[in-house]
Structure 1
Amino acid sequence: MSDSAKNYKDTLTLPQTTFPMRGDLVENEPKRLERWESSGLYQRIIGRRREQNAPEFILHDGPPFANGDVHMGTALNKVLKDLVVKSKTMAGYTAPFIPGWDCHGLPIEFKVVKEAAGLEPAEIRRRSAEFANKFIDIQRNSFRRLGVFGDWYNPYLTMAPAYEADILRVFAKLVEGGCVYQSKKPVQWSYGAQTALAEAEVEYHDKESPAIFVKFPLQDVPQSVCALEGASIVIWTTTPWTLPANLGIAVHPEFTYVVGRFEKDGREEILVIVRELVEAFEQKTGFKLAKPLEEIRGREFDGLLAQHPFLDRTSKLILANFVTTETGTGAVHIAPGHGADDYVAGQQNGLAVLSPVDNEGNFTAEAGLDELVGKHVFKSNDRIIEILEEKGVLLGREVYKHSYPYCWRSKTPIIFRAVEQFFISLDTLRGLALTEIDKVEWLPAWGRNRIYGTVEARPDWCISRQRTWGVPLPVFFDENNKAILSADVARKVADLVETEGTNIWFEKTDAELAALLGLPANVTRCRDTLDVWIDSGCSHVSVLERHPELHAPADLYLEATDQHRGWFQSSLMMSVGWRGVAPYKSVMTHGFVVDKDKKKLSKSEAEKAGKPIDAAHFYNKYGADIVRLWVSSVDWQNEVPFGEELFKQVAEPYRRLRNTLRILLGNLDGFDPKTAPAAPAYTLLDRWILERLHGVTAECLQAYENYEFRKVFNALNQFCTTDLSAIYIDALKDRMYCDAADSPRRIASQAAMHEVFTVLAKLLAPILAYTADEAWEHATFTEGTIHEQDFPAANPAFAPGEATKTVERLFAIKSVIQTAIEGRIQAKEFTRNNEAHVTLTLPAEDEGMVSLLSDRDFATEFFIIAGLDVKWSDHLSATAAKTELCLCPRCRKHEPLLESGLCSRCDAVV
């Protein structure tokens, strides 16, 4: 490079900024986080809004379980919440965020007991609390590192004594309302964890079960149905192990049943099968209907008795509308101790509740077969089938594949087992809950039907757990083992717990507790704990009502789709029981993180496959802002595909957004908005970019209000990639670098870029929490952090108008010009756009463009060419040729040169 060229370079106003091209997020984000926290940024943000008497917006944090690292599903949830809170804060709300953790429950106790068997209850609880606290710290650090703002060192914990006391007060209110009762009825029992389970603690997997056809000989048939003499009614079941508990057989009152002689390999049986399933029965068992004897309506079987196939007792035939003709025989084996429908039907027909199975899933002596006592029920299926065969009552068997409930923690299949438990009756709560559901805004709208259906169909809520790590069920038993269900006693226990903690329930003797509570000395305490869903379901009382900066109902609950039967529902039930209304005004549901095959990503499965899913892996490798940008880019309303390859793709738009901020800051070097003209002399391109900015701002503000973060991501990404980088900044390089630093059009463009940078940084702030603040800090004209700013308002002075219309037409013209130039470049007449002299032919409707296109400075800048001639015709066309003008050595444009060897503009500047 010659000395003169070097000197000319020194005369250019090249971009200057301290904002680095590389983010080095992994290294720099923790330093910025430390500055935010040490300066009390979160408290300043809340304090500023309070001073303004800003309206409140309360997003209530659903508590994650304190038993593992933060995986990407949890990160998705917490960052979505942060996008809501940050955008609401910048929109002018006071939006405090009190994070919380769910601390009690089976998963923690399961791990503690697994590590050391035979621990005393007090020791189990001590170790469980330590375990929970360990993971609270781990998760808190991950959420902080992700840039999530909140009162992190004053969270709510469901194991805090004050919180536990409020759980007991809510329980007392339910007792007072007559909602709590004790009963021996079937519950979903985990023999792996040895406790009853709530529906939300059950997951479904495919299972193969032995399905069998068994005959029950009818007894003492009345003469009115003489065709049944010597007949047997046939049942079909996928749970042979429940047959020892069989006390009845259900038929549908309106179905027609065939009584007929069936034959197989010389064996003859008179059997009763529902008409619609005779053919399927023949195919599966090999028994063919040789001779139909009679058809009988189901209601005629009511009250008849049948001989149990291998025990010395009879089974009662009853009527039930849940019987179907989809599978089986149209006659359903009823074991009231082993099924919800069976129990209800049994209660309606005077059947006993027999459940001869212990906590570990083994048969007890009540089963009536000595050889089965102590044997696990699932391991007894084969022997029971053998017994049926020996007794001559087995008619056929098959392998049946079906979806079956499993314990979510022990991963063992559950059994339905009748045990004495405490329940919340939903009869008093359901109607009000359903009414409240329709007062709530559900996002997406299908959430309404999902929770409405689960509440409508939900059986009474089994709330007692045979566990140690939880809130004690505040019930005592008198000398006759009758439960003392008292709201007053529950409130006294709550007051005691608030000062002493729940450990007192497990550490004091019955007599000591009785003395403290003013109860008779001979009472005994209940050893069960409350279902952990009651813990989190009471957070609207223990958190929203107890924190002065919060309010109930909350403005928004935001969790994954499984919470329609979990936290959303438990909170709803507890809230209508406590205050008669829903605990939330809006509920937002996001999908699960899934792999490329749309399978839900569990931590254990991901680890086995060598595919990391811990959030720490990704923010330690790429940076938290890349995680946040990923969250903003996904469609949270549906399942969210995730994998390292998909995640890497997010780095590209991040670099583009960062580079855009850097270019803007570089071009704003030396610009002082305080001394800039109040009414800059904006050129057409300046007005156009400000009109585009107005549209993008309006779109993003509306999207933030609707929680449509993907729209924000797409709008800003598109704006930066196309409008700013590819068009505006590219076209203005010559002006920004080569004009005099104080030229009116350059200063006007700096004023436009100042507006663009300020708006862009603020709109990006909720998403790129670290990067937007870093860019804000490197600007010479800003104060405070980006997170203490308000969102920009769309500027009505730049509502899309004449500039947008004109530039859109110019783009069409530019496309035609570019086609002409590319043809000449391919013919090797010249090599670069700015060597082209273009002859443009315009139709008459473009007459208004003539003055603009006659402006050489505008035409050569916008089209990046050497010169333009305009002609008129009936259509738009262009030709290009190599310019005869020389290259100005300073601005590198082909221009008429002066004696100095420079173009007139450069000569004046130099």
Structure 2
Amino acid sequence: MDYKSTLNLPRTEFPMKANLADKEPQILKRWGNLYEKIRELRKGREIFLLHDGPPYANGHIHIGHALNKILKDIINKYNLLTGKDIIYVPGWDCHGLPIERQVEKELKERKIRKEDLPKGEFRKLCRDYANRFVDIQREEFIRLGVIGDWKTPYLTMDPKYEAQEVRELGRFYEKGLAYRSKKPVYWCIYDMTAEAEAEVEYQEKEDPSVYVKFPVTGMKDTYLVIWTTTPWTLPANLGVMVGEDYTYVYFRTTVGTFIVAQELLESFREVTGLDGEVFKKVKGSELVGVSYEHPFVQRSELKDHLSEETLKNMWKVYPSEFVELGTGTGLVHMAPGHGQEDYTVGIRYGLEPYSPLDDSGRFVSPAPDFLLGVRVFDANALIVNLLKEKGYLLHHSKVKHSYPHCWRCKNPVIFRATHQWFIGMEARLNSSTLREVALTEIERVRWIPDYGKNRIKSMVENRPDWCISRQRYWGVPIAVFYCKQCGEVASEKEVFEHVANLIEENEFGADVWFEKDERELLPEGYRCKRCGSAEFKKEEDILDVWFDSGCSHASVIRPLGFDRADMYLEGSDQHRGWFQASLLESVGSYGHAPYKAVLTHGFTVDEKGRKMSKSLGNVVSPQEIIDKYGADILRLWVASEDYSEDVKLGSSILKNLIDDYRKIRNTLRFLLANLYDFDPNRDRVEPNKLHHFDRWMLSYLQGILKEVHRHYSNYVFHRVYHLIRNFCTTTLSSLYLDVLKDRLYVYSPNSWERRSAQTVLYELLIALSTSIAPFLSFTAEEVWEYIRGINPHLEESVFLSEIPKPDEALIDGKLEAEYSKLLKVRDEVLSALEKARKENLIRHPYEAKVYIQTKGELLDLLEKYKDYINFLFTVSQVELDKGGDIVVAGEEVENLTLGVSHAVGKKCPRCWIYYREEEFDGEVCQRCCNALKEMGYVCT
């Protein structure tokens, strides 16, 4: 008889080779309306709302985009698989400089200047460009397996969105939170626009380091000494700042007397090489009011350009809380038009923010003639040379330091005073300031990881007022009007609402602002509330793109009927970007944060921890991985990494992930292959009637499920991944499934022994397929299709099912404790068998007879399970006594001695286990004979 044909060997069409790159697009087609089905079938359930931070519609997606979107998808899908409804509306940031620059680049290739086009035509090119990449990125995100409302995403250039943004600006103006002022802001001289704090990044830059002497008025050969790394700001110098409580010295040398801070005198002497003596010490407060002369600017040159108050107060010493004694001289050159702290002190003492520069950073009148038309960074050398010629330069060297750069063009930015629109951090919201309310709300939000709270908190505590105006074309207008007669701003709610309605009704939204004149944009018959004039001029600046995206809660979340999202999730750089902009906009408009929780992730780096860049040749594109391995491998990478730190990716990491994927897939395949004849509605064995090994596994599985839910709920996905991987490779493949093969293959198909095992295999299959679904989405869906072949009553998609919740009734603590001890003995047995194999006593574990010598509780336990422990240890025979040709002592279990001999009797040709002659019925063992009879065979 061909005994192999009588065994219940695994059977399944579920392929061992995943072939994900080909299979996944087929699954995506089946998912075409899945989001809509979820919303319909989960109607009335608890809703989880993760609000999508909008990426720029600019270029193909990169690996950072994939990390971000997959993390969001894992969270959404886990919430789905706990029975909730989800709302996920993807969005795109469609305005701003990145798109403008790309369009300008395309125009340049066609030899067309932006300035030669009407604004409306240029804006159309920007809109077309954004639409093109929205479509491209949408398909790329869908290919990742991300479920969401891809048919109607939100776009910041949508007329409804732009209209709401104008209404939000109106709310800020109405509450007195928005104002216009001339003050220094970050300014990119290459893009020629103001920038917010979130739009600058710090990089190393080499600058001059100069010590300059300012002659004290009325004191011969006596000088205030300042130190600066920005000589180009000296033409705008209006004062010198000191710390009132610091001690300053008069240091007499052969070339003059120099006033510096006592604490910095030694470093000053060392740097300049000057020698001399201190003949006088004063407090900083005693220097306040001292006048000095500018080294190369004459007062007469500024007479027609500065206010009388500034002319009266300039070139004096002023007290400042911002002076520090870390470097320099303790006297700080003050240019209120080129520094936030300088501006703060200057305004306090009647000094205006003076900045003789144009938008491209070139000096204009009334700057000294030798600087006119010169760009700021080029001016450094000219100013240093002039100071040297005039004898005002005490020392000149170079210094490398951290300096702000434009995050878009990567060039250094400057601080420059211009007229801009701001949101005031100290403006009042009822009894508190905007800053205070924002800080209170930060405390109410759950920050994941928790260090995010301190990060954003310190930023909000220290940030200056938010500059919201930009000098560009492609964006939402700052919808205000200035009275031509008296300068009053038209700020009534009806004005903002009227403009918002015009934008909402226009096919191209905010283009209406640039196409129509003031009369057409203002409510009919509107007149200035101060002077009654009907003549107005509209603002030409547009809103900061951070205000654009910061309004998304008002344009997306609130129309859905919610006042805040359950979660915002972006990279850790968004503490100073979108998280903060959204917080301030929502607090200003509605008094609270727009989110209940904020999760941040690190950046993608290569395996050596280096930033990915084309120059290093270490860029890994998501498309490349998908085309070669499939999106599930990319998703597995996201789940496997600790996203709270920078996330590494490279070829060896991918290789390990592919190995892990195969192990998980093969475990699922084994489960499917042994359930081909199992009907859970007919063949299931009740939990209390299961074989004790199966009851143990079912109890153990509840603990796994408990950990799965705990880790998902705490957003530590890499722990879910490690838990499932280890469960599949160690607990299942190397133990439970390995031991189970005998019962699955040898007993008759309908036997209790086999049905008991299959009952638990089915539970494992459901638990594993749903538990991996948030990250191995395509594989889980593929598996689910085969599970539905076993149980057609299941939901049509794994994402319409639920991850089983741990069932306390199935937990058997006593049984788990007993098996814990048995499995420790099993490990000792396996070590002894390996020794026997190396000494050629046996070739296969079934050839072994194991002797176990122990005492006490362990002996009682082994006696209790004596009829099964040979199967648990995968040997033919076990005797609870001393003996064996090879004898070893237990390494981990005390009072345990193991012996191994070759099994006695002969090998059953069907099950391969050795039995004594009297235990055979014909050619096969009695156990196999019984199984054959049940199957209709005759034992021979």
Worse-matched range after superposition: 109-118 or 17-26: 109-118
* Correspondence for 1:74: 65
* Letter paired with 1:178: G
Take 1:89 and 1:822, find their aligned partners in 2: how far apart are those partners? 47
Q: 1:419 aligned to 2:418?
A: yes
Q: 1:641 aligned to 2:648?
A: yes
Take 1:277 and 1:402, find their aligned partners in 2: how far apart are those partners? 20
* Correspondence for 1:495: 501
Q: CA deviation at 1:797?
A: 2.6
Q: CA deviation at 1:61?
A: 1.0
Q: 1:901 aligned to 2:926?
A: no
* Letter paired with 2:665: R
* Correspondence for 2:857: 845
Q: Deviations over 1:625-666 (max 9, x none)?
A: 111111111112222122233233211111111111100000
Q: 1:871 aligned to 2:868?
A: no
* Letter paired with 1:807: Y
Counterpart mapping for 1:580-659 below 5 A: 580-601=591-612, 605=613, 607-659=614-666
Take 1:353 and 1:540, find their aligned partners in 2: how far apart are those partners? 36
Q: 1:786 aligned to 2:779?
A: no
Which of the residues 269, 276, 284 maps onto 2:263?
276
* Letter paired with 2:381: D
Which of the residues 449, 453, 456 maps onto 1:451?
456
* Correspondence for 2:118: 120
Take 1:888 and 1:237, find their aligned partners in 2: how far apart are those partners? 92
Q: Deviations over 1:185-226 (max 9, x none)?
A: 1110001110000111101100110010000000035xxxxx
Counterpart mapping for 1:376-387 below 5 A: 376-387=375-386
Counterpart mapping for 1:766-805 below 5 A: 766-779=774-787, 780-782=790-792, 783=794, 784-805=796-817
Counterpart mapping for 1:455-854 below 5 A: 455-480=460-485, 482=487, 484-488=489-493, 489-500=495-506, 501-514=509-522, 518=526, 522-548=535-561, 551-601=562-612, 605=613, 607-679=614-686, 681-779=689-787, 780-782=790-792, 783=794, 784-854=796-866
Contact kept in structure 2, 1:694 and 1:800, CA below 8 Å: no
Contact kept in structure 1, 2:483 and 2:490, CA below 8 Å: no
Q: CA deviation at 1:512?
A: 3.9
Counterpart mapping for 1:153-164 below 5 A: 153-164=151-162
Q: Deviations over 1:582-637 (max 9, x none)?
A: 11111111122223343443xxx2x3333333222222221111111111111122
- Secondary structure at the residue paired with 2:754? helix
Take 1:596 and 1:356, find their aligned partners in 2: how far apart are those partners? 49
Take 1:579 and 1:12, find their aligned partners in 2: how far apart are those partners? 70
Q: CA deviation at 1:480?
A: 4.7
> How many residue pairs are counted as aligned between the two chains?
880
Which of the residues 24, 31, 51 maps onto 1:36?
31
Q: Deviations over 1:362-389 (max 9, x none)?
A: 111221x212111111011111111001
* Correspondence for 2:10: 15
* Correspondence for 2:141: 143
- Secondary structure at the residue paired with 1:236? strand
* Correspondence for 1:373: 372
Contact kept in structure 2, 1:844 and 1:872, CA below 8 Å: no
* Correspondence for 1:179: 177
Contact kept in structure 1, 2:882 and 2:897, CA below 8 Å: no
Take 2:683 and 2:758, find their aligned partners in 1: how far apart are those partners? 9
- Secondary structure at the residue paired with 1:257? strand
Identity %: 43
* Letter paired with 1:364: V
Distance 1:576 1:323, change over 3 A: same
Q: 1:342 aligned to 2:342?
A: yes
Q: Deviations over 1:149-199 (max 9, x none)?
A: 111011111100000010000100110011111111111000111000011
- Secondary structure at the residue paired with 2:912? coil
Q: CA deviation at 1:909?
A: 2.7
Distance 1:677 1:484, change over 3 A: closer
Take 2:635 and 2:552, find their aligned partners in 1: how far apart are those partners? 27
Q: CA deviation at 1:514?
A: 4.6
* Correspondence for 1:890: 910
Distance 1:825 1:517, change over 3 A: farther
Q: CA deviation at 1:481?
A: 7.4
- Secondary structure at the residue paired with 2:560? coil
Take 1:387 and 1:616, find their aligned partners in 2: how far apart are those partners? 57
* Correspondence for 1:224: none
Take 1:517 and 1:593, find their aligned partners in 2: how far apart are those partners? 57
Worse-matched range after superposition: 879-888 or 691-700: 879-888
Q: Deviations over 1:38-72 (max 9, x none)?
A: xx22111121111xx21122111111111121111
- Secondary structure at the residue paired with 1:270? strand
Take 1:806 and 1:69, find their aligned partners in 2: how far apart are those partners? 56
Q: Deviations over 1:416-456 (max 9, x none)?
A: 11111111111121111111111111111111111111111
- Secondary structure at the residue paired with 2:67? helix
* Letter paired with 2:105: K
- Secondary structure at the residue paired with 1:14? coil
Q: CA deviation at 1:853?
A: 4.5
Contact kept in structure 2, 1:175 and 1:485, CA below 8 Å: no
What TM-score, normalized to structure 1? 0.94
Take 1:850 and 1:353, find their aligned partners in 2: how far apart are those partners? 88
* Letter paired with 2:172: L
Contact kept in structure 2, 1:437 and 1:448, CA below 8 Å: yes
* Correspondence for 2:85: 94
- Secondary structure at the residue paired with 1:469? coil
- Secondary structure at the residue paired with 2:782? helix
Structure 1: gaps of 5 or more residues: 222-228
Take 1:435 and 1:853, find their aligned partners in 2: how far apart are those partners? 62
Take 1:798 and 1:105, find their aligned partners in 2: how far apart are those partners? 57
* Letter paired with 1:457: N
* Letter paired with 1:904: Q
* Correspondence for 1:351: 351
